[in-house]
Amino acid sequence: MIGVSHYLILSGLLFSIGFMGVLRRKNLLMLFFATEVMLNAVNIAFAAIGNYYGDLSGQMFAFFIIAVAASEVAVGLGLLILLYKKYGSLDLDVISSMKG
Amino acid sequence: MYEFIAFYIFAISTTILFMITVMSKNVLYAMTSLAAGMVMISGFFFLLGADFLGVVQLIAYVGAVMALYSFAMMFFDATRDIKEKHANPSLVFLLGGLMAVVFVIIFSAPIIGDNIEASYPIVEGIGNAQAVGMVLFTKYLVPFEVAAIMLLVAMIAGIILAGKKMDDSLTTTVIAKEPEDEILKESK
């Protein structure tokens, strides 16, 4: 049957997909999407381990991760709109001002 | 048996949808597949017995966060494909694969340790939402209130950051006005 290891392997796989997106993406909005993928992957791992030990702490941490993700999106999108007003683009190569 | 089928359906669909999110060139496709993948992830929470977490995932992530993203996309040009310059994509795939291996090792480490006991054990006989409420409002009350303040701060920050100069258009370029110089007017 489906054990905790199945969920953890799936969670690791999804996290590495998100990590690959963070490394690969040059557009800031797409980088935000990749971080959402990573946060969701970690939520699965928390819920699976909480279920494995019969503990509610895993679900609690997943709740707080959802709260953190919601506030991250609120602030981050405000910053993205400001950046788009200033530079007219969300590409990291256009925005970056430090040469090196 | 049903758990087996459901797990593999959800696993395959989330993996494919998140791959589309990461690989797609179009913002609209990426956002839609991300929302669909989050719906599928709430299916895992229902399978794991975390009913309330699944509902919160549906309401807060799919309902609120993705709606926020779709509203923010009105500010950006979403129909145009994104051009990205990739320096060396093979290195990215190598690092991503290494991350997968490292995370499987990290996540499977607590299975080896046997002497872990549940600090807030799941009580039989009461629903998941009731159990979550009892733990959340007793043991995790202070983090809960701090999270509420953090959400308030984030809301104010979002309003102030996005609300500045809201009357300026972002996509259409403003036509340059006539020079209002006094000397130029007199010379005409």
What's the pLDDT tens digit per position in A6-41? 888 888 889 889 988 888 888 888 899 999 999 999
User: What residue type is A13 in one-letter code?
Assistant: L
The range of the structural domain enclosing residue B145 comes to 2-113+128-187
Q: Which of B26-30, B101-105, B174-178 has the highest mean pLDDT?
A: B26-30
Does the pLDDT at position B24 exceed 80?
Answer: yes
Residue B163: CATH number of its domain = 1.20.120.1200
Mean pLDDT of B16-24: 92
Does the pLDDT at position B103 exceed 80?
Answer: no
Q: B102 vs A9, B15, B95, B105, CA distance in Å? A: 11, 18, 10, 5
Local structure of A55: helix, strand or coil: strand
Nearest CA in chain B to A86: B170
The CA distance from B90 to B177, in Å, is 50
Could you tell me which of A89, A84, A75 has the C-alpha nearest to residue B161? Answer: A75
The total number of structural domains that make up chain B: 1
In a domain, B170, yes or no: yes
Q: Do A27 and B82 touch (CB under 8 A)?
A: yes
In a domain, B120, yes or no: no
Nearest CA in chain A to B171: A88
B77 Cβ contact list (under 8 Å, min separation 6): B171
In a domain, B123, yes or no: no
* Alpha-helix residue ranges (DSSP H) falling in A1-100: 4-24, 28-53, 57-87, 92-95
Size of interface A-B (CB pairs under 8 A): 230
Of the candidate CATH numbers 3.40.630.70, 3.20.20.70, 1.10.287.3510, 1.10.1380.10, the domain formed by A4-95 belongs to: 1.10.287.3510
Average pLDDT over chain B reads 81
Q: Do B161 and A64 touch (CB under 8 A)?
A: no
Measured CA angle at B44 (ends A73, A74), to 5 deg: 5
Does the pLDDT at position B40 exceed 60?
Answer: yes
- State residue B25's pLDDT score: 86
- Proportion of chain B above pLDDT 70, given as a percent: 79
Q: For residue A23, give the nearest of B92, B117, B140 by CB distance.
A: B92
Q: Which of A39, A43, A51, A68 to mutate to test the interface with B (most CBs of B within 10 A)?
A: A43
In a domain, B119, yes or no: no
How close B126 gets to chain A, by Cα (Å)? 13
The reported pTM is 0.81
A5 Cβ contact list (under 8 Å, min separation 6): B108, B111
Q: Do B122 and A8 touch (CB under 8 A)?
A: no
The region of weakest confidence among A15-19, B35-39, B80-84, B140-144 is B80-84
In a domain, B118, yes or no: no
A54 Cβ contact list (under 8 Å, min separation 6): B118, B121, B122
The CA distance from A96 to A77, in Å, is 18
- This model of the complex carries an ipTM of 0.90
Does the pLDDT at position B33 exceed 70?
Answer: yes
- pLDDT tens digits, one per residue of B50-60: 889 999 999 98
User: What residue type is B179 in one-letter code?
Assistant: P
In a domain, B122, yes or no: no
- State residue A42's pLDDT score: 92
In a domain, B57, yes or no: yes
Q: Do B44 and A71 touch (CB under 8 A)?
A: no
B179 Cβ contact list (under 8 Å, min separation 6): none
